[in-house]
Structure 1
Amino acid sequence: MGVAGLAYAMVSEPQVKDTAKAQNNVYFWDDNTQMVATGGEVNRQIIGYEQIPAAMRNAVISAENKSFEHDRGIDPMGIARALYNMASGGETQGGSTITQQYVKNSRLSQEQTLSRKFEELFITLKVANKMDKKKIITDYLNISYYGRGASGIQAAARTYYGKDAKELNPSECAFLATLLKGATYYDPAGAPEYDKAQATAAKNTARAEKRWKWILDEEVKDKRLSPTERAKYTKFPTPDTPKKNAQLGGQTGYLVDLAKSYAVNNVKGMTVDKLAQGGYEIHTTFNEKKVKELNAAVKKVYDNKIDSKKRPGTDTHVQFGGGSVDPATGAIVAIYGGQDATKHYTNNADPTGAQVGSTFKPFVLAAAMEYGKRDPSLGADQDLSQREKVSPLSIYNADDKLKIKNYDGQIWTDENGKEWLQTNDGHESRGNITLREAMQWSANSPYVQLGMDVGTDKVKDVAIAAGLKDDENMADSHVPSFSIGTSSPSAIRMAGAYATFAASGQQREPYSVTEVKHEGKSVYRHKDVTKRAFGTDIADNVTDVLKNVVEKGTGTPAQLPGRDVAGKTGTTDDNKSAWFVGYTPQLSTAISMYRMDDDANNKHRKFEKMFGTGGEEKIHGASFPAQIWHDYMAEAMQGKPVLTFPTPEPIGEKVYGGGAQSPKPSPTAVESPSPSASATESPSMSPSPPVPGPSDSCSAWDWNCQNDNGGTNSGAANGGADGGPSTNPSTTPSPPGGSNGNGNGANGGFVGGPAG
């Protein structure tokens, strides 16, 4: 009792003015020069009790603390639970009464420790004994953080509804009261940069509407709102669209959001509220020069090719996304999130729902080399000793409308018993070709059948090992089209996964923050964690095959004379998205392109076809995405040492699939892969049609060149990849798991949890 009395006497009451010391957060480029100071600026205007509408006070009391007007400021049972949980190492808890929350929010120190809770308890008791309830509720509403940088009810009213607090109606007050549960999860605008799985706009809106309705109903129960008045508010009071700080225009806002997201999800003890209070130095991995170069490469396409006035039916809503990762570290050196972060709020470098198409095929090839083709005479689950590892020189049938089979030779059928006929671009048949050639020309049927022979579950395992996430962006792996890119990972993730190939199989998690300091003290430093995704022989063989794609196949527009480049094009269903992902030994970059209405208020927006966009008959990965990739990488690699990819070791056996049979006598093709291997490395059971190659008459990146640079990607029916999964509309229904994603930004941010 003596200690308690002394503690009670020594603690001081909180002061509102002390909580108004929020500072800016300063973000730095990778060379430690300042990028921008933002995010902690004080957006608070203190107002008096009379200026706070009674409806706001009533909403908060009914929702947070029904006994507020006559209690002693603490909830003994709640305190006991919180202390027990912390003492036993359980989950920390906050104050349960308005007075306790006021005390907690009044303190700049937000650490969840037993000593702090103990001290806070005595402050609460002193506040309850000495402060008038009107003063407590006034200060509480003036101090509380409502999201979007708004501290206090007046700032919140202006931020969400563009009006003074005294003008708020009971419905708007009920919504603002929901934000006190945590704006990250209750702001209808969403906060996917902090939690990509749960803080989406759709989920936040649903939560906010449910709690808003509950608060109004509770007010009626508490006789703080009449049933007649309650009946007026049946429609959710949707707040205004968030407004961005002008200094966060261009790419800066996307960079800041990415770094904020990383900090909140990786710095121990970091919260959105703490970051909003400011005082942090956040040192990022972003290279100012490369960010500007990537932005310039995209702008060049917009300026020279995209004309919404001239072609309103095809050139509106055109979006690009980009991510560039250092394979040696995993550092994200540059992104392209959109034309302007203050106008286009979704970061296009994060998941957008745009499927990656044939850029997924390298994971199929890697899985074939890692796990091998299954023995058709054995069960579906086979260990490595029962499988036959696959060489890139293996022969597969590349005919159009190839009838896809299970690994055991049985015709694959969907749940309705319908067969799967796999198409290629332009319904082109190439007969029996090597997997190397199939990648070179982006033929679909060989890789769909290869995925079935190996197992699409193994393809998924390899994609995840390379750096993709097993989340809502990963498509259904139980259908054949999975192997040709029905998944929709972000540009950052794709760049990171290809960086694993560039690093000879060493996977490093992409990251955007190297160090965080608070008031000069370091509170976080990035630690490099390297995982072996797959063997060097596998990674280097994939690189060699992708190098051939750039040298002789669909990826020729990405060539950087004098440098080794490996990459892959990708185009999807109905020409709704196009990608180019490629790398040099020092840098991996992914570029995406799609069309989607930028107006988030349009509830029915969807991916739009790109036939005719930019004056092109059809958009391929080899067109604008590859051109952007080339222009950016040509600048980004200037002054860098000229390095070559490792020479791959021979791997696997030459197997035959998709109906291709080993000729008699056995072929004598060279087994060792080589960077100089030709497109006719293997004999064919049937003659292949002439292979259209890129024209030598004009440069692949000449803006005025009208030549079609050899792209063989085509739209994929039902959300597939180049050429599409099934193309027998009369007999084959749309497979599950092949939709075009769930809308721009709906999948949230790149960093949704701790790295690794």
Structure 2
Amino acid sequence: MPSWKLISGLCLAFFGSLVAVAGIGYAMVGIPTEENAAALSQNNVYYWADGKQMVATGSGENRQNISFEQIPKDMQWAVISAENKTFYEDSGVDPMGIARALANMATGGDTQGGSTITQQFVKNTYLSQEQTVSRKFKEMFISIKVGTKLDKRDILQGYLNTSYYGRGAYGIQAAAQTYYGKDAEDLSASECAFLAALLKGPTYYDPAGNEGLDSSATPDANRERSEKRWRWILGEMNKDGHLSDAKYQEAISEYPEPQGRKAIKGMTGQISYLVDTAKKYVLAHSDITEAQFDQGGYQIYTTFEREKVQALAQSVKKIEKERLDPKRKLDQHVQFGAASVKPNDGAIVALYGGAGYEKGHFNNNADTSGVPVGSTWKPFVLAAAMQYGTYKSDGVGVSPMSKYNGNDHLKVQKPDGSYYLKEDNSLFYQENESDHPWGYITLHKAMEQSVNTPFVQLGVDVGMEKVRDIAQQAGILKQSFSETNPSFALGTSTPSAIRMADAYATFAASGKQVDPYSVKQVKRGGQPLPGFDKPAVKEAIPANVANNVTKVLENVIENGTAQNAKALGRTAAGKTGTTDENKSAWFVGYTQQLSTAVAMFRENPKSHALLSMNGTAGKDSIHGGDIPTEVWTEYMKVALKGESDPGFPEPSPIGRVIDQVGAPSPTPSVTATPSETVTEEPSPSPSTSEPEPTPSASASESCAFGWCNDNGGPGDPGGDDGDVSPAPSVSETSGTGGNGNGGNGNGGFFGGTDTE
């Protein structure tokens, strides 16, 4: 028999060894300097213009950290009463609980339990979730140190921000949004008790059930467990003095039914493209790297108005359903892109980027380059003529009542008197869509009926560089410009719908330009970040020039190619556009309150090259005044509902009547206003829609150079509403087209930034 001395010595040695091991462990295990990836991972939360949450996305977990002050007192005490009553007094560990947990691990029993709030915070923040003895020892030693070095408020805040509440929600803010559709700071005491009950194990306490995870987690069983624990937690809060008798009776009176499960929120529908646009804006206006941004934790307050976004999407879907048949081959692969911008402000209130990420369409059609804008470019030519005049006007602006030859198949004359030639040195002839004999017509009338030949010659007379400058001043990015040859006047450039809406907003705002923006404010940790001030208003175009352009574009709706827009029932201005071989069709229009651009095109889903829309919707060709204008009108009816109709400022007479060489004389010597009645055409003109192609004409157009033409030589007739055929490098190749599902030339920040 061993003596008592031996037994005593062995016991002392054992306990001494435990103390030594504990001392060594305490000394060797320090508080990690970095949080684990899961704790760092947060959602980026996007908000609508009215401040309501749009979507939380951007990381692997639905997590949003909030400050201690934003966590309701009831939530704090609910967790303390239910899980760790001595939280504010203890050292951060529960020795007996740890012993039970270690014993359970050793015997293969239940691994749950045995942790204080501090220990759970340490596990969530610094350690993995694995159930091992070594992890439990680390948790104990780190918790002791954390308990002595961190403020209890910080520990509780960290715990509530990192705990899992079920349905993919990490943290109290994400949980409040997931279960009650509100911010955490707005939770009631009853709702706080419900969320605290979930921390016991959301698989078994979510009343929606989780039978997919455990067959015993049925809705009925979970509801019973949830109500029982909810009542118990409220009772403990009352017993502990954290909930008065009156508030307890109020809270216990009715179970706080959470909202049902919803489809996974995220990148679906138009939300996909709103997030895409806002993210690009954030990265372009800050020093935040994409890696930092994707790690999450940012709150992005956007300019997008939910009702307008929905209205735009519904308008596209409505017109698609009415006009397109998915079973008809020529109606397949048709796409739309659209954007709506506030004049005098620059805020992007709505956009339509495509069918949605969930349908495999990952390219944002509202914010991409690659779709030529056609005759919607003509207002920039007219504005340049009004502001700068032509080479023969000595700097005096040109009146829109000036006459140019509108006939088909005309030579284009250079300022030196020579003519543009084709590649084979034969004469180049500019074509209209039809051979209608317009004769010499005013620029006002040429815009109304979207006649090609006057604007090509006008662009040459003004100088294409000046046309480019006006377009850039209005808001078009230089990276989206095509070459400044005669074709430039008829819309071979490829700005995004956002930029076109913004540029026309400059006309709507009497020449004041504001860069388009989609983000009003970005916060992290509750603190606003720099770089997101509202863009400055610039005097881009003389007010009277812009107002005269608007007057001419009002007539396009009243009497010209955009008469479908008259259904809006209020004063508006705009321009239609259609391009080479009918590969794209546009309408850009505005009131003083809103400027909206709508693009329509077809593309090869494999190569992403643009396809002809001849035959689409059962029509010989699609014009900008057709489906795009219908979409625009449907949207603007909803977007402007309840708004006043202020009209536009009446312009003063501008410029001098400077007719093209060869126009009949005498030329009027007085200045005419754009609002004068146009009676100079000897032949009748179409009055209800964009001119239909003649049976013998294809829907392609020509430009001054052989490489501009896709089919045949530059002399091929075409041009659906006065637009010229872009070069193959613009409309035929996917690299610059970028309008495919995942195409490689998606344009970048508000379109056109992928190339120089």
Q: TM-score, normalised by structure 2?
A: 0.63
Contact 1:41 1:278 in 2 (8 A): no
Preserved CA contact (<8 Å) 1:550 1:559: yes
Q: Is 2:546 the counterpart of 1:539?
A: yes
The offset of 1:28, in angstroms, is 0.5
Paired position in structure 2 for 1:260: 279
Aligned residues of 1:572 and 1:715 also touching (Cα < 8 A): no
What's the CA shift for 1:526? 2.2
Q: Secondary structure at the match of 1:516?
A: strand
Matches for 1:405-444 after TM superposition, within 5 Å? 405-414=413-422, 416-444=424-452
Which residue matches 1:573? Answer: 580
CA distance in 1, matches of 2:376, 2:297: 42
Deviation at 1:590, TM superposition (A): 0.2
The counterpart of 1:347, out of the listed 364, 379, 384, is 364
In the TM superposition, what is the alpha-carbon distance from 1:670 to its structure 2 partner? 7.0
From 590, 600, 606, the equivalent of 1:583 is: 590
Structure 1 residue 18 displacement after superposition: 5.5
Does structure 2 conserve the Cα–Cα contact (< 8 Å) formed by 1:622 and 1:709? yes
Contact 2:657 2:669 in 1 (8 A): no
2:560 corresponds in structure 1 to 553
2:470 to 455, 459, 462: 462
Instruction: Report matched runs for 1:230-379 at 5 Å.
Output: 247-267=266-286, 269-309=287-327, 311-312=328-329, 314-343=330-359, 344-375=361-392
Considering only aligned residues, what root-mean-square deviation do their CA atoms show, in Å?
A: 3.1
**Alignment partner for residue 593 of structure 1, among 600, 603, 607?**
600
Cα displacement string for residues 322-369 of structure 1 (whole angstroms, at most 9, x for unaligned residues): 000000200000000002232211111012411100000000000101
- The answer as to whether partners of 1:418 and 1:731 remain within 8 angstroms in 2 is no
Measure, in 2, the Cα distance between the counterparts of 1:10 and 1:270: 34
Q: Does structure 2 retain, via aligned residues, the 8 Å contact 1:557–1:709?
A: no
CA distance in structure 1 between the partners assigned to 2:581 and 2:265 by the alignment: 37
> Are 1:750 and 2:741 an aligned pair?
no
Closer, same or farther: CA 340–484 of 1 in aligned 2, 3 Å: same
In the alignment, is residue 672 of structure 1 matched against residue 673 of structure 2?
A: yes
In structure 1, what is the Cα distance between the partners aligned to 2:29 and 2:417? 81
What residue identity is the alignment partner of 1:631?
A: E
Q: Tell me which amino acid in the other structure corresponds to 1:434.
A: T
Deviations 1:513-572 (A, max 9, x none): 000010111113323311111100100000000001000000111124542110000000
Tell me the distance in 2 between the aligned counterparts of 1:726 and 1:407.
24
| Cα distance, 1:731–1:301 mapped onto 2, change above 3 Å | closer
Task: Report the more deviating stretch, 419-428 or 619-628.
Answer: 419-428
| Displacement of 1:440 | 0.1
Secondary structure of the equivalent of 2:611?
coil
1:473-512 alignment to 2 at 5 Å? 473-477=480-484, 479-512=485-518
Letter in 2 for 1:463: A
Amino acid paired to 1:326: K
Q: 1:519 to 1:731 in 2, by over 3 A?
A: closer
* 1:692 aligned partner, one-letter code: P
Amino acid at match of 1:663: S
Does the 8 Å CA contact 1:245/1:342 hold for their aligned counterparts? no
Judged with a 3 Å threshold, the aligned counterparts in structure 2 of structure 1 residues 352 and 569 are, in CA distance, closer, same or farther, namely same
**Structure with higher helix content:** 2
In the alignment, structure 1 residue 616 sits paired with structure 2 residue 615 = no
Contact 1:719 1:739 in 2 (8 A): no
State the SS of the aligned residue for 2:420: coil
Is contact 2:433-2:691 (8 Å) kept?
Answer: no
TM-superposed deviation, 1:429: 2.6
Take 1:578 and 1:715, find their aligned partners in 2: how far apart are those partners? Answer: 16
Larger radius of gyration: 2
CA 1:271–1:738: 2 relative to 1, 3 Å? closer
Alignment of 1:698-717 (within 5 A): 717=700
Q: Report the counterpart of residue 642 of structure 2 in structure 1.
A: 639
Q: Is the 8 A contact 1:476 1:738 kept in 2?
A: no
Show the counterpart of 1:166: none
Deviation at 1:731, TM superposition (A): 6.8
AA aligned opposite 1:519: G
Cα distance in 1 for partners of 2:690, 2:371 equals 23
Q: Secondary structure at the match of 1:551?
A: helix
Deviation at 1:16, TM superposition (A): 6.3
Aligned residues of 1:441 and 1:712 also touching (Cα < 8 A):
no
Mapped to 2, the partners of 1:605 and 1:536 lie a distance apart of: 40
CA distance, structure 1, for counterparts of residue 314 and residue 702 of structure 2: 31
CA apart distance, 1:415: 5.5
TM-score normalised to structure 1 length: 0.63
d(CA) in 1 for partners of 2:275, 2:296: 14
Deviation at 1:637, TM superposition (A): 0.7
User: Quick check: 1:407–1:454 contact (8 Å CA) kept in 2?
Assistant: no
Deviation at 1:432? Answer: 0.4
Compared CA separation, residues 274 and 726, structure 1 to 2 (3 A) = closer
Distance in structure 1 (CA, Å) of the matches to 2:548 and 2:448: 14
SS in structure 2 of the partner of residue 355 of structure 1: coil
Percent identity of paired positions between Structure 1 and Structure 2: 46
How is 1:383-422 mapped onto 2 (pairs within 5 angstroms)? 386-414=394-422, 416-422=424-430
Please give the alpha-carbon distance, in whole angstroms, between the structure 2 residues aligned to 1:535 and 1:252: 37
CA deviations over 1:433-462 (Å, ceiling 9, x no partner): 000000000000000000000001111111
- Distance between the aligned counterparts of 2:621 and 2:416, measured in 1? 37
Supply the distance in 2 between the matched residues of 1:661 and 1:10 (Cα, whole angstroms). Answer: 93
Q: Taking structure 1 as reference, are residues 595 and 464 closer, same or farther at Cα in structure 2, changes over 3 Å only?
A: same
Q: Where does residue 15 of structure 2 map in the other structure?
A: none
Note the C-alpha offset of 1:660.
Answer: 3.6
CA contact (8 A) 1:21 1:42 kept: no
Does the CA-based 8 Å contact 1:484-1:720 persist in structure 2? no
AA aligned opposite 1:494: M
Cα 1:368–1:417 shift into 2, 3 Å = same
Amino acid at match of 1:290: K
Per the TM alignment, residue 252 of structure 1 is displaced from its structure 2 partner at its CA by 0.4
Q: Measured at CA, do residues 19 and 438 of structure 1 come closer, stay the same or move farther in structure 2, by a change above 3 Å?
A: same
1:649 aligns with 2:658: no
Per-residue Cα deviation, 1:92-149 (whole angstroms, up to 9, x for no partner): xxxxxxxxxxxxxx99xxxxxxxxxxxxxxxxxxxxxxxxxxxxxxxxxxxxxxxxxx
Q: Against the structure 1 CA distance between its residues 346 and 405, is the aligned structure 2 distance closer, same or farther, given a 3 Å change threshold? A: same
**Alignment correspondent of 1:133:** none
What one-letter code is carried by the residue in structure 1 that aligns with 2:419? I
Change beyond 3 A, Cα 1:718–1:445: closer
Distance 2:476 2:350 in 1: 19
Paired with 1:445 and 1:17, the residues of 2 have a C-alpha distance of 67
Counterpart residue identity of residue 257, structure 1: D
Unmatched tracts of structure 1, length 5 or more:
1-8, 45-105, 108-243, 376-384, 695-707
What letter is aligned with 2:333? H
Q: Residue type of the partner of 2:731?
A: N
> Could you tell me whether the CA contact under 8 Å between 1:622 and 1:711 is conserved in 2?
no
C-alpha distance in 2 between matches for 1:731 and 1:549 = 28
Q: Secondary structure at the match of 1:515?
A: strand
